[in-house]
Every structure is written in C-alpha cells, then in structure tokens.
Structure 1
Amino acid sequence: MGKGFSVGRQEMYGAGGFRLNVHLLFHRPVSAQLTPEAQLADVMREHYNRLYDYGLKLTNGDEDTTKDCIQETFLAYWHHAADWATIQSVKAYLLVTLRNRIIDHQRQQHRFVPTVFWADSNEMATQPDFMFSPEDFMIQEATRTERSRLLAEALNGLTRRQREAVFLRYLQEMDYADMAQVMGVQERTVYNLVHEGLNALRQRLPPAWLLRLAGWLLSSVFIQ
C-alpha cells in the first residue's frame, strides 16, 4: 500500500463531523483569502507523507494504525482552527499530535509495559518503539541489499530516543526547538541525543560507510 493519502469518501468524511471537499486537495482556490477548509487541504497536502513516514516508525510499520492516527491528527487540527494563527510550527504541532495519538492507541491496545526498561538505556517502555528498515534507504540495486540491511541494523543499535532524534533531525529536517517539542524533552537533550547517536554510528561503521550514511541522512538516498 502506498503512503499517499486516500481521498475516498469513507476516509475523508469520517467521524466527528470531519468534512473536507476532496476537490480541494488537488485544486487550490485562486482567491488570496483561503477558506479554513482550503487551508486544511493545503496542510494535508504538505504534511501527510511526513506524518506517514513518522507514524510507520512509531508503529513498527502498522499502516492501518498509522493512517487512523493521521486522520485523528488532522481532525484535531481542524477542531482547533481558532488557534491556527498562534501555532508557530505546523509541522511540530502535527507531529506532536500524531505521536500522542499513537501512544494513546498503543496504551489502549496494552502494548506498553510500564515496569520494563530498555536494555540499552534507562528509557521506560512507555513510549512507542522506533525502528529503521532496509527499505528506508531507498536503495534500488540488488547488490546493495546487504549493505542497506547492515546500515539499518547499525541505526537500530542506537537507543530508541537516539533513533527518533536522528530521524527527526535529518529526514524530517526539523530544528532542535521543534524536535524538543515533538519528543517532549529539553532542547539540550535533543542535541545530545543526535550527537551521541552519530558518535555511536561512527564507532560501528567503517569511514566509507559513514560517508554514504551521511548522504542518505541529508538527502534520503545514498550518494554514488
């Protein structure tokens, strides 16, 4: 299943009176003064794929849960239309909302075990896991399949919060202030997580591989 948002009536006319004319998703009004509905359509166009990628990481690839939580995220954003002018970063607002929706969903599914700690850190298991897969590297050549697998393993060797910080910093291209808002920690903590994560990767990967990993982190594809 692809990650592009669906425009089926069942999804777009969902619970809570969430009504969006799907025509607006593809045809932006010419008027400089956009209606709230048109503004929401713009936000959905701009941020859906970003939310989808982040949601898949938090749900270990559960597409159905990810899509449901994304819809709830846009619904929450729509319900707070009166506050749109005060939102400093729409990207951070949506990612925070999606993260909280997924955490709530997983708690309802009893997927959290509050008394268990992660083996490689002091992190309580009260947050969704965050894992990379070989497909994240967008490597098309069959000869590079093993390399992509090993790189994914190196990234997954980081702590959960380090993985999430690296993802938000380089794939979502977020600044540290927004990352801190999304992750619910201090800005200095986010900086340290990224720094420690990159240092750990330097210890686990040969220099030549680090150059390729840097190319992926900056452009989502490997440099030649």
Structure 2
Amino acid sequence: MDYKKLTDEQIWKLISMGDRTAFGFVFKTFVKEFFKYGCKFTKDKALIEDVIQDTFVSLWKSKEKVKIEKSIKFYLITAFRRELIRRISAERKFDTIEDCADTYFIEHSYIDLLVQHQSSIQMNEDLTHALSQLTARQREAIYLKYFVELSYEEIAETLDMQVPSLYNLIMKAMKALKLSMKNEKLLVNLK
C-alpha cells in the first residue's frame, strides 16, 4: 500500500485499527524532523531520541482512544515538544517553560535552510546575527511556521498562545529580521 497517497485521516484509521506498517510509515516520515526540532532545545541527543521513542510508544499504546482531529504531524510534534520540555525542565529544574525556551539555540543547518538560495557568506553571517537578536519564542515560532510548516492555529496551540498573539509574535520577528538585515547591509557597505 502506498501510504504517501493516503490522507492523515485514512492513515490514522489504519493505525487505530492496529496497522503496524502504517505506524512505521508515520514514524519514518517524522523521526528526522522531530530529532532536528529537538536539537533546538537541547544538545542531549540521547534525551531527544528517548523522547521521540516514548512519544511514539505512547501513541501506539493509546491508538484506540486518541482522536487526531488535525494532522498526525501536529499531534505528534505537540506531544513531542511537551514531553521534551517537561524532561529538560525536570533535569535543569527550570521554573517555567519560558526559562527552558531561553536555552533554545540556532544550529547551522537551520541557518543554512534560510539562506540556501544565497551564495554570499556575508549574507549567512548577517542572518545568523539577525536570528540571534530574536527571542527564543520568536525563533521557535519562525521555525515551526517556515520549516515544520504548521498552520498558525497549530503553532499557537503548540506554544500555548492565542492566534492573534502568534501573528504579532511572528510579525515582530520578521520586522526585526528585516531591520537587522538592512542594518547589517548598511554596515557592510560602509566598510
């Protein structure tokens, strides 16, 4: 069966009826993306792998009870993020999710994706600097929107925000990026 041609609803129906092959397809489809996303929160690869594994095991165990109303990807990434932050918080004894989110960092592959069509090394450095000026929450929202390709509604739910607040967060982040990039270009031109 070609699972790529099925809708999320159809795949989930198969999984909820115990189709291990459909479940394996979902795992293979998202595991690398979730690992990469987890690396935004921690460098502990073993922890990320454990949380991914536990997220999928938990889903399999509760497959008959779980109702996936949006997308499988959205459901899984939300569950994965929640559990990863819970475990990081427990390890580091953070008081809030925001404290944990402050550890969110930019990896070079993330930057490379943003500037893949740019040949200039300077542009890459400018973008790295511009992204580092954003808050952790802004970087995460941009990542979820443009790289994980979640909808605004899904991102808002994942980040436990209202949709209008998310619009503002992303809009401010994009303005800050544009301004920072413009300022970097001015500095380079003055040299």
Distance in 1 between the 2:178 and 2:82 partners?
A: 32
1:5-26 deviation digits (Å, cap 9, x = unpaired): xxxxxxxxxxxxxxxxxxxxxx
Aligned mate of 1:87, from 47, 51, 69:
69
Over aligned residues, Cα RMSD in angstroms? 2.8
The one-letter code of the counterpart of 2:87 is H
Structural mapping, 1:123-134, within 5 Å = 124-127=98-101, 129-134=103-108
Q: Does residue 75 of structure 1 match 2:47?
A: no
Consecutive unaligned residues in structure 2, runs of 5 or more: 1-13, 186-191
Aligned mate of 1:157, from 133, 147, 166:
133
Q: Does residue 193 of structure 1 match 2:151?
A: no
**8 Å contact kept, 1:89–1:178:** no
The one-letter code of the counterpart of 1:174 is L
After superposition, the Cα gap between the structure-2 partners of 1:124 and 1:84, relative to the gap in structure 1 and judged at 3 Å, is closer
Tell me the CA shift for residue 51 of structure 1. 0.7
Q: Deviating runs (4+, > 6 A) in structure 1?
A: none
Tell me the CA shift for residue 56 of structure 1. 0.6
After superposition, the Cα gap between the structure-2 partners of 1:40 and 1:84, relative to the gap in structure 1 and judged at 3 Å, is farther
Look up the match of 2:7. none
Look up the match of 1:45. 28
Look up the match of 1:26. none
Tell me the CA shift for residue 124 of structure 1. 4.2
**8 Å contact kept, 1:52–1:66:** yes
**8 Å contact kept, 2:142–2:170:** yes
Look up the match of 1:58. 41
Tell me the TM-score normalised to structure 1 length: 0.65
Report the secondary structure of 1:206's partner residue: helix
Alignment size in residue pairs: 167
**8 Å contact kept, 2:40–2:107:** no
Distance in 2 between the 1:133 and 1:39 partners?
A: 32
1:93-113 deviation digits (Å, cap 9, x = unpaired): 11111111111211221252x
Greater fraction helix? 2
Structural mapping, 1:1-224, within 5 Å = 35-59=18-42, 61-112=43-94, 114=95, 124-127=98-101, 129-136=103-110, 137=112, 144-145=120-121, 147-206=123-182
Distance in 2 between the 1:128 and 1:105 partners?
A: 15
Report the secondary structure of 1:135's partner residue: helix
Structure of higher RCO (CA pairs closer than 8 Å, 6+ residues apart):
2
Tell me the CA shift for residue 82 of structure 1. 1.0
Consecutive unaligned residues in structure 1, runs of 5 or more: 1-32, 116-122, 210-224
Tell me the CA shift for residue 187 of structure 1. 1.2
